[in-house]
Chain A
């Protein structure tokens, strides 16, 4: 039927740590950083960054609209609350028939969750201008648009940064679930490791650690950002 049998190369024996299922195998981490953990981390960053960027680009104008037309806030608020109760696992699966087995599917869901987190924060920020300040501004002859840009928006910055902080940190967490439908991000090594005949501890711990570390780093970035952009705000407000 066919020619000679195949050459079966040596694939490299797993260290005794790995085959013996010890608690944590540094050698596996070092060996597989470039083919498993590293790419997953980069993918995760991409997923998060794109989701929050698009989410913000959508939430900001929506918030401005809701600020101007108070009527919009209620329905948009209700939609937000509803969205939060949808299990992310289900939302990802539901989107596949529409947007396929692609990053787009995951991004649509992540953007939706980001929107839900950013929108109320931006609106609350815009609202936070004390009424007497607004009156004074109108009294000085500023138009609505000028009031928006020179009073309300600057005052909203702490809330917006607070919202972005929550959004980024939460998106990092939700993006791990995306691995259920798309083999990308730090959730994927975890799913694969769970699938093994005995769940592979090292892979789980290292991917989990990276995901948490990523969330904490992003959080720290926003704390610094707030201090830079909003030097006049005291601690504990956003």
Chain B
């Protein structure tokens, strides 16, 4: 039979471990709840690619340096999912592209005729929904259609319209491209590209898929480091500007803007003003090519420019 002191030891062990488990569980549950601080917390979200991570970190660190309470939700997902998070209150701020706001979020057929007009239109569309669009960045980042140099040579591809020469081909892009006027829908309407099998990206980059031959053409971003010269890839020309104007501007819920006031907006705008094309290209390269973390790259940039 089990000896008495062993029995007691086991009983004790049980009671203690169960107690510890419960205590830890409760403790963790309490910790998981966001801490109460003075004023509302700014919850910044980002979409699911490195440029957005850099932008998110830039705004997050700049605001924290000025004493704001910031919570950061990186890599939420596509435009649709990040919008969902915004409208359901899980985040109250995120960096978005002006043309995307107009043509994807509000399903308009065309952006404005210029970058400034696009920004103005986006701002007007967001206001009645309770969202404020803060100042735009100098840099823009549009979708581009990309093929490998070998493919471009094989079919003699120089502009998007030339893709009609290729038989039915696989086209890889983020899911939102399929229904966008600034993307596949626009290419179909404006260039007559209908011979397409759409392959949605789910975690692997479009450049990986191009390299492995799983797709013939793909949707990239104009600021992607692989497109910096000399490049293994050819960007097809878009003479009709289907991809629109795409400066970045932070969408913030209007109540937050009102509550936090001028100090908040001036902090954010000061960051946006410094984001020129050379700046974002350098930061993209540091993160994507040199494998630095978005947080450290953003931190260094802010420090160098007196914003942190």
Contact = CB atoms under 8 A, between A and B. Distances in A.
Question: Is chain B found bound to chain A in the same assembly?
Answer: yes
Interface of A: 2-3, 5-9, 11-14, 18-19, 28, 32, 35-36, 46, 49-50, 53-54, 56-57, 60, 96-97, 100-104, 107, 149-151, 153-155, 157, 183, 188, 191-192, 194-200, 202-203, 229, 232
A101 B94 CA distance: 14
A11 B283 contact: yes
Contacts of A194: 203-205
Contact of A56 (B10, B11, B21, B290): B21
Contacts of B11: 149-150, 153-154
Given A6-B301, A101-B85, A195-B204, A57 B273 contact: no
Contacts of A107: 28, 32
B288 interface: yes
A36 B29 CA distance: 25
A150 B2 CA distance: 9
Contacts of B297: 11
Interface stretch (B72-80, B117-125, B157-165, B191-199): B72-80
A35 B203 contact: no
A200 B138 CA distance: 31
B32 A199 contact: no
Contacts of B211: 198
A6 B283 contact: no
B301 A35 contact: no
A19 B290 contact: yes
Contacts of B225: 197
B interface majority secondary structure = helix
7 smallest beta-carbon distances between A and B, as pairs: A14-B290, A11-B286, A197-B207, A6-B274, A9-B304, A54-B25, A50-B28
Nearest to B89: A100
B207 A198 contact: yes
Given A54-B21, A101-B90, A2 B286 contact: no
Nearest to A58: B25
B237 to A, nearest CB: 22
Given A6-B274, A53-B24, A104 B290 contact: no
Nearest to B14: A153
A153 B10 contact: yes
Contacts of A7: 304-305
14 contacts: A2-B138, A5-B279, A7-B304, A8-B301, A14-B292, A18-B291, A96-B90, A101-B91, A103-B32, A183-B74, A188-B75, A197-B208, A198-B205, A200-B291
B10 A229 contact: yes
A195 B203 contact: yes
A150 B22 CA distance: 22
A24 to B, nearest CB: 13
Interface of B: 2, 6-7, 10-11, 13-14, 17-18, 20-22, 24-25, 28-29, 32, 45, 48-50, 73-76, 85, 88, 90-91, 138, 203-205, 207-208, 211, 224-226, 273-276, 278-279, 282-283, 286, 288-293, 295-297, 300-301, 303-305
Contacts of B208: 196-199
A interface majority secondary structure = helix
B204 A35 contact: no
Nearest to B49: A195
B81 to A, nearest CB: 9
A195 B11 CA distance: 51
Nearest to A133: B1
A57 B203 contact: no
Contacts of B305: 6-7
Given A14-B290, A53-B21, A194-B203, A154 B2 contact: yes
A101 to B, nearest CB: 5
B290 A57 contact: no
Contacts of B289: 14, 19
A154 B1 CA distance: 11
Nearest to B25: A54
A12 B290 contact: yes
B60 to A, nearest CB: 13
B282 A8 contact: yes
A229 B25 contact: no
Nearest to A195: B205
A151 B10 CA distance: 10
Contacts of B50: 195
A6 B76 CA distance: 29
Given A8-B279, A11-B297, A50-B24, A102 B207 contact: no
Contacts of A151: 2
A183 B72 CA distance: 10
A163 to B, nearest CB: 13
A197 B290 contact: no
A13 B73 contact: no
A155 to B, nearest CB: 8
A8 B281 CA distance: 10
